[in-house]
Structure 1
Amino acid sequence: MAIVTTKAIVLSSLKYGDTSLIVKCYTENDGIKSYMLRGILKPKKKGIKAAYFQPLTQLQIVAKHNSKNTLNSIKEVQVIQPYKTIHADIVKQSVVFFLSEVLASSIQEEEQNKTLYSYLETAFTWLDVHDKIANFHLLFLLNLTGFLGFYPDMSQTNKAGFNLLEGVFSDDIQDKNVIHHNNFHQFKKLLGINFDAIENVSYSKDERQLVLQTIIKYFKLHLGSFREPKSLQVLETVFS
């Protein structure tokens, strides 16, 4: 059992019994950790509040981490990057619910990865302060593949298609895993850019959905643990 002070990003919270929550976080020090917060939903409960554990909230926590794979506990918590717009904006909220689901399904490691943590922190702060965010989730997911180990190999981008299973560009457009023509063209628009460039990428509603479905398929092919997010339909509705 170790007492750890670490930054943490909330990925999910699940009600346990009538008054408790089980919260899953991505921590800067130790990767994925789950915590039991007993009695946090009791009325007039003093101390740690349930409101701190909304999806993708950025926290500083003092926690007890044990080595026996059981639930950990949190002793102290504070919000270190209070969002100004995310919780008040229905579109941003939909994006946040969707991305928190994807992250909870994609990241399994209980080990430190400071570059991934820094990427998440920077991305969600960017989302909070910008208005043109219709393509944010697409670029966020595509760039996330770099930290998960399957960002597209950019060495032969002049080929006619992209093989989602192999992660490489390909001329074999008969292969069922190779995207080509319009699907490929739309997917390619996101490669090699950062968040400040996404307002220059234009998609129709149908193109945006096509690219999202392609990226979801890419995740499914590379991550055995990946489940299609329940909030996918909601996300498609808000950007219609």
Structure 2
Amino acid sequence: MRSHGIVLHSLRYGDHRIIVDIFTEAAGVVPFIVPQSRIGRNGIKASAWQPLALVEVAWQPNVKTALQRPKELSLWQPWRTLTIEPRKTAMSLFLSEFLYHALRREQENRPLFEFVTKALSWFDERDDQFVNFHIVFLLHLTRFLGFLPNVEDWEEGCYFDLQAATFSRVRPYHIYYLEPEESALVPKFLRMDLRSMRAVGLNHALRHRALEIVTEFYRLHIPEFPESRSLEVLAEVFE
């Protein structure tokens, strides 16, 4: 089998191997085990297993084990700025961590794969006005994961129920909801696309709060979704 893919996560396994989780176009998320001896000048380049790398991978599926062994693993589309621009690097690390937990059980989903690759390519090509990218991207990602809020139900004064992913004029009975002022941000972001998001001016504190809300929203809808370890680092970079 051969497929394009997005590297979500990599982890050293013992002294001589690396486990690389790749969201492939053809088979969903596939964990690969790569011997250290294959990484280097004459083998798999280290850049091919860095988070969010766009790769091409070939393997013979083995149903007897979860960890697959790649026959080939190479860069499919090198990034221009994601790995060298400090703000983009911080945002990329945050997104790779987020996507790893959000997509780890994902099966083949070509529309989702196309959405993620096109969005990341747009992000890579931008030289400015991308500070809201991660918020817009993660909210639109919910469309493919099954918990997209219906913005047509929003009206001024509504609460947003994070558990039900719905708007309501009645305060929810539990603690997982947004007050009307913050609820108004949800349809605002979901009605944007990547090009129009620059029109929303958020200060540092409000942008950080928006990310906290998005993270909490995902934690309520995806089993075992952890708290982000890179959220505070991202906040410091954009402060």
Deviations 1:76-101 (A, max 9, x none): 12212111111111111111111111
Q: Which secondary structure state, in structure 2, belongs to the residue aligned with residue 75 of structure 1?
A: strand
Partner of 1:158: 155
- Unmatched segments (≥5 aa) in structure 2: none
The two structures have a TM-score, normalised by structure 1, of 0.92
Q: Deviations over 1:83-136 (max 9, x none)?
A: 111111111111111111111111133521000000110011011001211111
What's the counterpart of residue 31 of structure 1? Answer: 28
Aligned to 1:80: 76
| Residues 22 and 34 in structure 1, CA contact (< 8 A), matched pair in contact too | yes
Match of 2:9 in 1: 12
Alignment of 1:180-195 (within 5 A): 180-195=179-194
| TM superposition shift of 1:41 | 7.3
Distance in 1 (CA, whole Å) between partners of 2:23 and 2:116 is 10
State whether structure 2 residue 169 is matched by structure 1 residue 143. no
Structure 1: state its 5+ residue gaps: none
Shift of 1:61: 1.2
Identity over aligned pairs, percent: 31
Q: What residue number does 2:61 align with?
A: 65
Q: What secondary structure is seen at the aligned counterpart in 2 of 1:214?
A: helix
3-state SS of paired residue (1:103): helix
Pairing partner for 1:92 from 88, 95, 98:
88
Distance in 2 between the 1:211 and 1:78 partners?
Answer: 36
Residues 40 and 49, structure 1, Cα contact 8 Å, conserved in 2: no
Query: How far off is 1:45 after superposition?
Result: 5.3
Q: Are the structure 2 counterparts of residues 182 and 155 from structure 1 closer, same or farther at C-alpha, using a change threshold of 3 Å?
A: closer
1:163, 1:179 within 8 Å by CA — same for their partners in 2? yes
Residue 237 of structure 1: how far off its partner (Å): 1.0
Q: Using the alignment, how far apart are the partners of 2:224 and 2:6 within structure 1?
A: 20
Q: Equivalent residue of 2:217, what SS? A: helix
Is the Cα contact below 8 Å between 1:14 and 1:22 reproduced in 2?
yes
Q: Is the 8 A contact 1:11 1:104 kept in 2?
A: yes
SS for the counterpart of 2:195 is helix
Q: Secondary structure at the match of 2:83?
A: coil
- Partner of 1:114 in structure 2? 110
Q: Which residue of 2 aligns with 1:215?
A: 214
Q: Does 1:55 align with 2:55?
A: no
The partner residue of 2:123 within 97, 120, 127 is: 127
TM-score (norm 2): 0.93
The 2-side partners of 1:137 and 1:69 are apart by: 35
What is the distance in 2 between the residues matched to 1:27 and 1:51?
17
Q: 1:32 Cα shift?
A: 0.6
The answer as to whether partners of 2:159 and 2:180 remain within 8 angstroms in 1 is yes
Give the AA of the match of 2:104: Q
2-side partners of 1:201 and 1:110: how far apart? 32
Deviation at 1:227, TM superposition (A): 0.9
Deviation at 1:57, TM superposition (A): 0.7
Partner SS for 2:201:
coil
